[in-house]
Amino acid sequence: MTVRIVVLAKQVPDPETPPSQFKVDESTNSVIQPNGVPPVVNGFDLNAVEAALRLRDRGDEVEITVLSVGAKFAMDAMKKPLAMGADRLVLVDGPGLDRVDSTGTVKVLAAAIKKDGPFDLILGGRQASDWDQAHVPLGLAEILKLPLVTLVQKLEINGDSLQLQRVTPSGYQVVTAPLPSVLTITNELGEPRYPNLRGIMQASRKQPEMLSLADVGLSSDELVPRLELKRLYIPESNRQVELIEGEDEADSGRKLALRLRQEKLI
């Protein structure tokens, strides 16, 4: 039996962008794409791709579809999961879809999954590196009425069920879940593999399957944000550092204590 897996992937600004090039347009509450720094696939979502590929490495018969919602996709970035070994790339593209809130994203993903399904397993990263909200997989499990297990660091398919290790603050839990389920994969799984030359060449020959809102049976009127972003800005730091020096450590400590007492901190 082939297990159909969908991996959720999001295009995000490169977290390694130099701070000097990170700029915000406060008039539109949006991040300005820096010149020469292309977007990337969310690193936590690549952990989910890696988790799916490890199932194949174990000998499980799996078909891996990567699904993303957004606009103005950078194909060089979005094809990375294909170069890693995923079978298909499905992109729901349309004006404004890169700025819908998590509720809207969940609606589009659920509609795309229902159109392209059925799937046996849905994997996502633990969170996205741009907003760090971790809302989407939880909302998707709710709307699809599927079991959800978060922060999975190891998974195995055993017949029609899943054997999972879920990370906790003190270690991990061993959890059993049915198929189908929604899982979020944590970075404790390990580093995603680097695409090899063969994978890169194969990905270059594959074309993503492009869908519009109409293709999945939705309209922009159904994606009115439930959250309102009031302001997006880069905080200004006005901290000052004062060095306390003395003749030796004891003298420095005494002067520091006097200074802290002067500021009424002690």
Same domain? For 20 and 139 the reply is: yes
Are 65 and 116 a contacting pair, CB within 8 Å? yes
Q: Taking the alpha carbons of 42, 4, 181, 92 in that order, is the dihedral positive or negative? A: positive
CA 176 – CA 125 distance, rounded (Å): 19
pLDDT (0 to 100) of residue 30: 85
- Report if residue 14 sits inside a domain: yes
Whether residues 207 and 76 fall in one domain: yes
**What is the domain range of residue 265?**
237-266
What does the pLDDT read at residue 80? 97
* CATH code of the domain covering residue 50: 3.40.50.620
Low-confidence ranges of the chain (pLDDT < 70): none
> Which long-range contacts does 14-20 make (Cβ < 8 Å, 24+ apart)?
14/38, 14/39, 14/40, 15/40, 15/43, 15/129
Q: Is residue 231 part of a domain?
A: no
Can you read off the two tokens belonging to residue 246? 């003395």
**Do residue 77 and residue 178 come from a single domain?**
yes
Looking at the fold, whether 248 and 139 belong to one and the same domain comes out as: no
Residues 37 and 132 in one domain: yes
User: Cα separation of 110 and 106, whole Å?
Assistant: 6
The set of residues, in sequence order, having a beta carbon less than 8 Å from that of 78 and lying 6+ positions away, is 9, 11, 41, 68, 89, 91, 208
Q: What is the count of structural domains for the chain?
A: 2
160 located within any domain = yes
| 19 and 66 inside one domain | yes
Q: Whole-angstrom Cα distance, residue 158 to residue 147? A: 17
Q: Are residues 155 and 244 in the same domain?
A: no
pLDDT of residue 98: 86
pLDDT reported for residue 227: 84
Residue 228 within any structural domain of the chain: no
> Tell me, what's the pLDDT at 96?
85
Q: Are residues 138 and 260 in the same domain?
A: no
Residue 58 lies in a domain: yes
One domain for residues 131 and 250: no
Residue 143 lies in a domain: yes
How does pLDDT run across 189-247, given as a tens digit for each residue? 999 999 999 999 999 999 999 999 999 999 988 998 888 888 988 887 777 888 888 88
Specify whether 188 is located in the same domain as 245. Answer: no
Q: What is the pLDDT of residue 110?
A: 97
Instruction: Flag whether 85 is in a domain.
Output: yes
Note whether 34 and 73 are same-domain residues.
Answer: yes
Question: What is the Cα gyration radius of the chain?
Answer: 23
In a domain, 230, yes or no: no
Is residue 45 domain-shared with residue 158, that is, in the same domain?
yes
